[in-house]
A and B are shown apart, each in its own frame.
Chain A
Amino acid sequence: MTPTLEFRDIVKTFGSGSTEVKAVSHISLSIQPGEFVAITGPSGCGKSTLLHLAGGLEPPSAGRVLVHGRDVVDMTPNQRAALRRTDVGYVFQSLNLVPALTALENVMLPLELDGVAARHARSHATDALRSVGLHEQLSRYPDDFSGGQRQRIAIARALVGERRLLLADEPTGALDTINSDQVVELLASLASERGVAIVMVTHEPRFASWADRVVFMRDGKIVSETSPDFGESVSAAVTS
């Protein structure tokens, strides 16, 4: 099966000379359809950078990033933009929604930007909202929802139009424990029931443990990961 997302020996540096920072250093990782992967590690270890590379928001300094088997680096800027609109969804810690648009309009937005007819966009957006357990009061504005509900709307927007790769950077960051649990549980079920591949960055072991596989980073490298079948853990660190 073609992995939904594949990193092949990725390096990402910022700056040059004495101010050079190696944010990501020789990372290889592949994520299958329906797989829920959590990435965790200390602040500054390169987690967000890795997500930016996955979504084609930043080019790698070396290595290849493949989404559905297609190399993001080889794409034209237009193709990359199309990839972000139609294949890859993003959820951030906060500030995900446009306050002046209703819940439904927020979720329709990526489709409308992509030129989908309003009638279709509306029906896809309603489906996406239903899949996150929100299908009532869709004409309310983001401020009228709770934090947990807002984040579910953001997840619906990230998935609308059958996007198969969801990248979430600390999606529980602004939420309390109960709401956070619900958001992470929702992500786990979207992966297992709808076959969405999900990469979630988190610093909370509690949330990481919902994932099928947990990847630990330090200093731009993967230092270990749990095996998906919960057997012996593979540790890259012990070989150094």
Chain B
Amino acid sequence: MAVREGLLALLQAEPHYGYQLKTEFEQATGGVWPLNVGQVYTTLDRLERDGLVSVRTGVDDQKLYSITLAGASALGDWWHAVPADEPPPRDELMLKVLMAIEDGEAHALDVVTRQRAALTELLQKRRRARSGESDGSDVAALLVTDALIVRAEADLRWLDVCESRILSMNAGTHRTRSAHRTRSTK
């Protein structure tokens, strides 16, 4: 993923040792994106191979990494880049609901109901976590929680839309399928 660019962004500010990069990366991402040391050094090796960072020996013979001109230019491209293609709208929640609709309205409503209760509980949890953090000291952590809250809200809103559409689908076919419906609600 974008770990390469994240490291370059930290190096843009000043040269770093490997272990410093790990710590600063994790702080900047609010603690939700842990890196292992091996991953940091592998990434730095590749960046060095590609000429995007340079290495010299610092205190205690440790490797001190700096960004090169080519690295700064690659980083600049990354800040400006936008996704070329819209990502395909595929996720597991959507797959579940669409498959359940294939299986019949009752099953679909059931899946919507369960997913919604579970997601709402998740949202409640995040909301609590959020009010615990609201002293504003760690902006990164707050923004990460905000992002999670807003995404859960979006999924819940989508489930509401699903429910309304399934119910109106149901009303539209009421006459032809009423026998079936009477049986399935027993």
A associates with B: yes
B138: Cβ under 8 A from any A Cβ: no
Contact, CB under 8 Å: A205 / B123 = yes
Query: Which B88-147 residues have C-beta < 8 A from chain A?
Result: 106, 109-110, 113-114, 116-121, 123-125, 127
Taking a contact as CB atoms under 8 Å apart, the answer to whether B117 and A226 are in contact is yes
In the bound complex, do residue A240 and residue B113 qualify as a contact, i.e. CB atoms below 8 Å apart? no
- Surface stretch bound by A, among B11-19, B28-36, B46-54, B157-165: B157-165
| A230 proximity list for chain B (CB < 8 A) | 121, 124-125
Nearest-neighbour CB distance to chain B for A67, whole angstroms, equals 27
A233 CB-CB contact with B under 8 Å? yes
Task: Decide if A233 touches B117 in the complex (CB within 8 Å).
Answer: yes
A35 at the interface (CB under 8 A from B): no
The reply to whether B160 and A237 form a contact with Cβ atoms under 8 Å apart is: no
Does A214 have its Cβ within 8 Å of any Cβ on chain B? yes
Query: How many residues does chain B have at the interface if contact means C-beta atoms less than 8 Å apart?
Result: 24
Q: Quick one: closest A residue to B164, CB to CB?
A: A42
B117 contacts A205, CB within 8 Å?
Answer: no
- Smallest beta-carbon distance B183→chain A, Å: 12
- Whether B109 contacts A209 by the Cβ 8 Å rule is no
A224 to B106, alpha carbons, bound, how many Å? 15
A214 and B120 in contact, given A42-B164, A205-B157 (Cβ under 8 angstroms): yes
Residues of A within 8 A of B109 (CB): 218, 223, 237
Do B153 and A226 touch across chains, with their CB atoms under 8 A apart? no
- Give A208's nearest chain B residue, CB to CB: B120
CA distance A61 to B118 in the complex (A): 33
Choose from A216, A225, A233, A238 the contact partner of B110 (Cβ within 8 Å): A238
Main secondary structure of the interface of A (DSSP, over half): mixed
Q: How far is the CA of A230 from the CA of B123 in the complex (A)?
A: 10
Closest Cβ–Cβ distance, residue B117 to chain A (whole Å): 4
Residue of A nearest to B123 (CB): A209
B167-A225 in contact (CB<8A): no
Q: Among the listed A206, A218, A225, which residue makes an inter-chain contact with B117, where contact means beta carbons less than 8 Å apart?
A: A225
Nearest B residue to A224 via CB reads B117
- What's the least CB distance linking A112 to chain B, in Å? 37
- Residues on B with C-beta less than 8 A from A225 are 117
Q: Are B120 and A205 in contact (CB under 8 A)?
A: yes
Quick one: given A42-B167, A226-B121, A233-B118, are A205 and B160 in contact (CB under 8 Å)? yes
Assembled-state Cα–Cα distance A203/B120 (Å): 13
Q: Is B185 an interface residue (CB 8 A)?
A: yes
Is A210 located at the chain interface by the 8 A CB criterion? Answer: yes
Q: Which residues of B contact A208 (CB under 8 A)?
A: 120
Please give the distance in Å from B172's CB to the nearest CB on chain A: 15
CB interface residues, A 190-220, toward B, < 8 Å: 203, 205-206, 208-211, 214, 216, 218
- Bound: A225/B120 CA distance, A: 9
**Is B156 at the interface (CB under 8 A from chain A)?**
yes
Q: How far is the CB of B111 from chain A (nearest CB, A)?
A: 10
The residue on B at minimum CB distance from A212 is B124
Nearest CB in chain A: distance from B106 CB, A: 8
Who on chain A is nearest to B150 by CB? A206
For residue B168, which residue of chain A has the nearest CB? A42
- Contact between B124 and A209 (Cβ–Cβ < 8 Å)? yes
Residue of B106, B120, B123, B125 contacting most chain A CB atoms (<10 Å): B120
Could you list which residues of chain A lie within 8 angstroms of chain B, going by C-beta atoms? 42, 203, 205-206, 208-211, 214, 216, 218, 223-227, 230, 233, 235, 237-238, 240
User: Using a CB–CB distance below 8 Å, which chain B residues touch chain A?
Assistant: 106, 109-110, 113-114, 116-121, 123-125, 127, 152-153, 156-157, 160, 163-164, 167, 185
Q: Which 7 A-B pairs have the closest CB atoms?
A: A205-B156, A233-B117, A209-B123, A237-B113, A224-B117, A226-B121, A209-B124
Please, could you name 20 A-B residue pairs with CB atoms under 8 Å apart, sorted by A?
A203-B160, A205-B123, A205-B152, A206-B153, A209-B120, A209-B127, A211-B124, A214-B124, A216-B113, A218-B163, A223-B109, A224-B116, A224-B117, A226-B117, A230-B121, A233-B118, A237-B110, A238-B113, A238-B114, A240-B110
